Amino acid sequence: MSVWERYIKDFVSYLKIEKGLSENSILAYSNDVEKLKEYCNEISRVPETINYNDLKLFIGELYDLGLSARSQARIISGIKQFFAYLLLENYISSDPSELLEQPKIGRKLPEVLTIEEIDTLIAAIDLSKDEGHRNRAILETLYSCGLRVSELVNLRFSDLYFDEGFIRVIGKGNKERLVPVSTQVEKEIKLYADHIRKHLSIKKGNEQVVFLNRRGSMLTRVMIFTIIKQLASQIGLKKNISPHTFRHSFATHLIEGGANLRAIQEMLGHESITTTEIYTHLDQRYLRDAILNFHPRNNE
């Protein structure tokens, strides 16, 4: 086994065991380092002898290959993680990637629903059908708690602390967080659980899962996506929305209402505040639109 192979193998174990990353994230990081390994093999470099200029030339080759700024940024992120690990384990004495800069990426602002659009979507749910009460509880939970769709489908009754006013969410990397829960969410979940869910024939292993399909099994992410798309079509909504749109809307409406950015970061489960800061850009767009629409000098 070469030095590169040994270090990459150890790095993957570190990401899995100590960092608790998902298989997809681990695969992405290891692929990034594999690209660097191939380049360094051509110039006879091992991790201990790589310097900043070597890395700059490597990034230059990625650019020449036509990789987008976003793809370059992801690879640089993987490389930085790799060298941070090597430094942590004392395999290297200094980090050659420390001064590497990320390429500038234009942020694409996510689609956001207005409060009126969310109310209209929820009001369009047919409550004469059993799944209607479930779907209403799902949309209220997605929006009011700002959950990822994977967090929603994995929600358990043991995660609900209604008396304390919180739900426990298991997010990316199995990290736990507590999210305040509204009385409306509590009302909708209890209504669904007491009048619809308890009559289902629940499959083994799904007894604690909050939201189930009519066969008593956990819902898939695709099913949540389908529910939302059908409702959007039903009310003639032209925006391209998904379950994640409710999470974006949750954060944006909090920013518009004056909520603290750090508090929103905690509620969303973002590891970095820079991820949360995109919502300040959304708020600025909202403020700009408000000024253009209502400022007297702009209406002349």
Could you tell me the strand order of the sheet in which 160-161 lies? 160-161, 166-170, 176-180
Helix (H) or strand (E) holding 41: helix 23-42
Residue 172 lies in a domain: yes
Residues 185 and 54 both lie in one domain: no
Does the annotation count 244 as an active-site position?
yes
CATH number at residue 42: 1.10.150.130
Confidence label for 212 from pLDDT (cuts 50, 70 and 90): very high
CATH number at residue 242: 1.10.443.10
Average pLDDT over residues 65-73: 77
Average pLDDT over residues 20-46: 88
Does the annotation count 133 as an active-site position?
no
Q: With CA atoms as reference, report the closest residue to 142 among 110, 173, 179, 108.
A: 179
Residues 79 and 184 both lie in one domain: no
Average pLDDT over residues 40-55: 90
Catalytic residue among 35, 221, 229, 244: 244
Domain that holds residue 264: 115-293
Residues 145 and 72 both lie in one domain: no
What are the beta bridge partners of residue 170?
176
Does the annotation count 247 as an active-site position?
yes
Residues 13 and 68 both lie in one domain: yes
Catalytic residue among 45, 148, 248, 253: 148
Catalytic residue among 136, 197, 247, 248: 247
Per-residue pLDDT reduced to its tens digit, 245-286: 998 888 888 877 777 777 777 778 776 656 555 555 555 554
Instruction: Please report the pLDDT score of residue 107 as a whole number.
Output: 57
Catalytic residue among 134, 136, 197, 270: 270
Q: List all residues 6 or more positions away from 38 whose beta carbon is below 8 Å from its beta carbon.
A: none
Residues 174 and 284 both lie in one domain: yes
Residues 159 and 228 both lie in one domain: yes
Residues 238 and 136 both lie in one domain: yes
Give the domain-ending residue among 37, 71, 88.
88
Instruction: Please report the pLDDT score of residue 43 as a whole number.
Output: 87
Of the listed ranges 1-10, 173-182, 290-299, the least confidently predicted one is 290-299
Buried b (16+ CB within 10 A) or exposed e, 270-279: beeeeebebb
Q: With CA atoms as reference, report the closest residue to 8 among 24, 25, 32.
A: 32
If you average pLDDT over every residue of the chain, what do you get? 84
Give the domain-ending residue among 73, 88, 103.
88
Residue 166 lies in a domain: yes
Residues 140 and 43 both lie in one domain: no
Catalytic residue among 35, 172, 203, 229: 172
Residues 125 and 80 both lie in one domain: no
- What percentage of the chain reaches a pLDDT higher than 90? 44
Does the annotation count 107 as an active-site position?
no
Residues 59 and 138 both lie in one domain: no
Domain count, the chain: 2
Residues 122 and 77 both lie in one domain: no
Does the annotation count 172 as an active-site position?
yes
Residues 48 and 134 both lie in one domain: no
250 phi and psi angles, rounded to 5 deg: -55, -50
